[in-house]
């Protein structure tokens, strides 16, 4: 009987099993590991087609995922320190997830390849389930640690600016209240001014946004500055951010709140400090003007009413006294 020399199966020239460590030494440990990894990863045949499509699909997905929106960063316009950390974590997880998906699907493809020869069960290659669980546990724990570090960093209140702007207590963030109502956001500034839909904040100033709601749950959502946070009636949800450069960020509420949900937009304008102060003063002045206008109109209409009453009295006097009495009795 002739035994074919088959180093790949670990047999030597006379058909005896070569010990693993010797096999490794023959080709060098690194190349042996590389070959083994390639054999695990690479499918040997293009069939079954339907499963191979999954691989193509995964690749397309990540090509799609990576191309337009996030050529370099998953959230390219991140403008607050906390969001930068969220971005970094997202990148790490993106790579991890990609690796997990590719590995699992390649393993499925390899397991499902059509057999050209009988596969003998390999009872000797049993993997200890406990060791496997420990390995996975270490992986999960590592992910948890990384995620905790970056989540903590992203939740930190950005360093408060030294020079307070108008309405800001020194050493504390500038407090602005955002109130969600169906289907409009209202922003109350410290000086008593308020605006709808558009929030104006100063650049380089740490802002504390108190999210409240007057009716249903609304989703505060500005990915570049704060990320998402729910505004729940009866509770105050606080988010902090500091945008260092001027810019405009437009977004939409993210929790379904009824039929006007699609139009519930948020626009955040980051402007230089002096512009912010001017803007809030202007807002306050506009509000005061509007109030004055209302008052003036009210006064005018009241004066008109006085005139009208006087005229009415005059007319009444002209009317026959008996007629009035008869009308009253009715």
Partner 1 sequence: MSRTTSYPQTMPPTRPEISSDGPGSRPSRWAELASSADHKDIGRLLIATSFGSIFLAALELLLMRVQLAVPENVFLKGVTFDRLLSVYGETAIFLVALPLIIGLLYYVVPLQIGSRTTAIPRVGQIGLWLFIFGGILLYGSFLFTPPEAGINPLPPFSDATFTPNNGVDVWIGSTGLITLGLLMIAIDLLATLHNLRAPGMAWRRAPLFTWAGAIVTWLFVVIAPIFLAAISMLLIDRLYDGGFFAGDAGGSPILWQHLSYIFFTGVYMAVSITFLAAIGEIIQTFTGRELPRKAVVWSFVVIAIVGTLAWTQNMLTAPIGSGWKYYGMLMSLALIVPFGLIFYNLISTLGSSDFHMRAPLRFALGALSLASIGLAAEIAQSTIAVATQLSETYDAWAATHFTLIGFVLFGGFAAVTYWYPKMTGHDLNEDRAAKSFGLMFVGTLIALLPLFAAGVSGQVTDSYRYFSYEDLGVYNAISAVGTLLLFVGVVLAVGNLVKSRSEEPAATPDPYRGDSLEWLALSPPPAHNFDVLPDVRSTRPMRDIREAVIRRDVEDAEAESAAQPVA
Region 143-182 residues binding partner 1, contact defined as CB under 8 A: 143-144, 147-148, 150-151, 153-155, 182
Considering the complex, what minimum distance in angstroms separates the CB of residue 258 from partner 1? 6
Q: Is 284 in the site for partner 1 (CB under 8 A)?
A: no
Q: Is 58 in the site for partner 1 (CB under 8 A)?
A: yes
Quick one: tokens of 90?
A: 């997202």
Check if the beta carbon of residue 218 is closer than 8 Å to that of residue 180: yes
Considering the complex, what minimum distance in angstroms separates the CB of residue 100 from partner 1? 4
Region 187-246 residues binding partner 1, contact defined as CB under 8 A: 211, 213, 215-217, 219, 221, 223, 226-230, 232-237
Q: Which residue has the tokens 């030494």?
A: 25
Quick one: tokens of 13?
A: 């020239």
Task: Report the helix count and the strand count for the chain, using DSSP H and E.
Answer: 7, 10
Binding mask 65-94 for partner 1 (x = CB under 8 A): x--xxx---xx------xx-xx--xx--xx
Considering the complex, what minimum distance in angstroms separates the CB of residue 281 from partner 1? 31
Check if the beta carbon of residue 213 is closer than 8 Å to that of residue 233: yes
Nearer to partner 1, 192 or 260 (CB): 260
According to CB under 8 A, which one of 101, 166, 278, 282 is a site residue for partner 1?
A: 101
Q: Torsion angle of alpha carbons 151, 156, 167, 273, nearest 10°?
A: -80
Nearer to partner 1, 20 or 76 (CB): 76
Nearer to partner 1, 133 or 296 (CB): 133
Size of the site for partner 1 (CB under 8 A): 91
| 159 to 10, 21, 82, 92, 238: CA distances (angstroms) | 62, 57, 11, 25, 16
Pairwise CA distance, residues 39 & 107, whole Å? 10
Binding mask 236-275 for partner 1 (x = CB under 8 A): xx-------------xxxxxxxxx-xx-------------
Coil vs helix vs strand at 112: coil
Pairwise CA distance, residues 22 & 293, whole Å? 95
Pairwise CA distance, residues 35 & 42, whole Å? 10
Nearer to partner 1, 18 or 101 (CB): 101
Nearer to partner 1, 121 or 171 (CB): 121
Nearer to partner 1, 106 or 281 (CB): 106
Considering the complex, what minimum distance in angstroms separates the CB of residue 57 from partner 1? 4
Coil vs helix vs strand at 26: helix
Nearer to partner 1, 152 or 295 (CB): 152
Binding mask 121-140 for partner 1 (x = CB under 8 A): xx--x-x-x--xx--xx-xx
Considering the complex, what minimum distance in angstroms separates the CB of residue 56 from partner 1? 9
Whether the upstream peptide bond of residue 6 has omega within 30° of 0, thus cis, is no
Q: SS3 sequence, 120-146?
A: CCCHHHCCCHHHHHHHHHHHHHHHHHH
Nearer to partner 1, 154 or 195 (CB): 154
According to CB under 8 A, which one of 110, 186, 198, 284 is a site residue for partner 1?
A: 110
Tell me, what DSSP letter sits at residue 234?
T
Q: Is 41 in the site for partner 1 (CB under 8 A)?
A: no
Nearer to partner 1, 15 or 258 (CB): 258
Coil vs helix vs strand at 11: strand
Q: Is 112 in the site for partner 1 (CB under 8 A)?
A: yes
| 200 to 182, 248, 280: CA distances (angstroms) | 21, 9, 8
Q: In what order do the strands lie in the sheet with 237-241?
A: 194-196, 184-188, 174-181, 207-213, 237-241
């Amino acid at each position: 009987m002739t035994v074919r020399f088959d180093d790949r199966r670990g047999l030597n020239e006379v058909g005896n099993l070569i010990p693993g460590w010797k096999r490794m030494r023959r080709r060098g440990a690194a190349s042996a590991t590389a070959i083994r990894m390639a054999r695990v990863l690479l499918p040997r045949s293009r069939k079954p087609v339907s499963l191979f499509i999954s691989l193509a699909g995964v690749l397309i997905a990540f090509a799609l995922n990576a191309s337009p929106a996030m050529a370099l960063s998953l959230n390219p316009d991140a403008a607050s320190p906390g969001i930068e950390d969220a971005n970094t974590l997202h990148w790490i997880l993106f790579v991890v997830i990609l690796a997990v998906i590719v590995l699992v699907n390649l393993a499925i493809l390899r397991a499902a390849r059509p057999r050209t020869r009988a596969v003998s069960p390999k009872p000797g290659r049993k993997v200890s389930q406990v060791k496997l669980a420990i390995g996975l546990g270490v992986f999960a724990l590592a992910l948890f640690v990384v995620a905790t570090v970056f989540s903590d960093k992203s939740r930190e209140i950005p360093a408060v600016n030294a020079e307070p702007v108008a309405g800001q207590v020194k050493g504390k963030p500038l407090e602005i209240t955002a109130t969600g109502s169906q289907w409009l956001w209202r922003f109350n500034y410290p000086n008593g001014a308020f605006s709808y839909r558009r929030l104006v904040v100063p650049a380089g100033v740490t802002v504390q946004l108190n999210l409240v709601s007057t009716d249903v749950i609304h989703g505060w959502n500005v990915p570049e500055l704060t990320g998402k946070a729910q505004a729940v009636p009866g509770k105050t949800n606080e988010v902090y951010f500091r945008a260092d450069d001027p810019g405009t960020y437009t977004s939409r509420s993210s929790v379904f709140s009824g039929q006007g949900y699609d139009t519930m937009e948020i626009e955040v304008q980051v402007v230089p400090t002096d512009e912010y102060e001017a803007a809030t003063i202007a807002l306050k002045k506009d509000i005061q003007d509007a109030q004055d206008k209302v008052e003036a109109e009210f006064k005018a209409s009241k004066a008109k009413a006085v005139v009208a009453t006087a005229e009415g009295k005059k007319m009444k006097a002209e009317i026959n006294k008996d007629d009035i009495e008869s009308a009253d009795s009715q």
